[in-house]
Amino acid sequence: MEQEQREFLAREHLDALERERLREQRDLDARRQIQELTDRLVHAEIARREAERRAQDVEVHQAQSPTETEGATQNVMEAVRLERERLDATYAERWQQREVEADAERAR
């Protein structure tokens, strides 16, 4: 009987230790999850502030120099126009050269 009682108490003690271990593991998992969520929240807040700062920078830049932006846009548009003209001229020259070659080939 005394042996059975010791075994019972030992099992109870082991069960209590296991329950304590599981509780500590749950607490640790909960702390990790809280830390991960906190980290994500901090990163999201940093990203939000950075986006706000960039938006303010853009607003300030646009308010201070609309003519600079317009000038830059005009310069880009002019560069595109000139490049198109150059490509069109090159294409026309190549086309004309091929026509001359085709005429010469037919003349043979």
Predicted confidence (pLDDT) per residue in 12-25, tens digit: 999 999 999 999 99
Domain count, the chain: 2
Q: Is the domain of 70 the same as that of 59? A: no
Q: Which pLDDT belongs to residue 68?
A: 61
Give the tokens for residue 49: 């502030």
What gap in Å lies between CA 108 and CA 104, rounded to an integer?
7
Domain that holds residue 59: 1-64
Q: Is the domain of 55 the same as that of 71? A: no
User: Hey, CA dihedral for 40, 46, 50, 55, is it positive or negative?
Assistant: positive
| C-alpha torsion 13→17→18→24, nearest 10 | 160
- The single residue listed with the structure tokens 């003349």 is 107
pLDDT tens digits, one per residue of 30-89: 999 999 999 999 999 999 999 999 999 888 877 776 666 666 778 888 888 888 888 888
| C-alpha torsion 89→92→94→99, nearest 10 | -160
Q: Is the domain of 52 the same as that of 70? A: no
Q: Is the domain of 23 the same as that of 45? A: yes
Q: Is the domain of 45 the same as that of 80? A: no
Please determine, for residue 108, whether its predicted confidence score (pLDDT) is greater than 80. Answer: no
Q: Is the domain of 47 the same as that of 70? A: no
Q: Which pLDDT belongs to residue 50?
A: 93
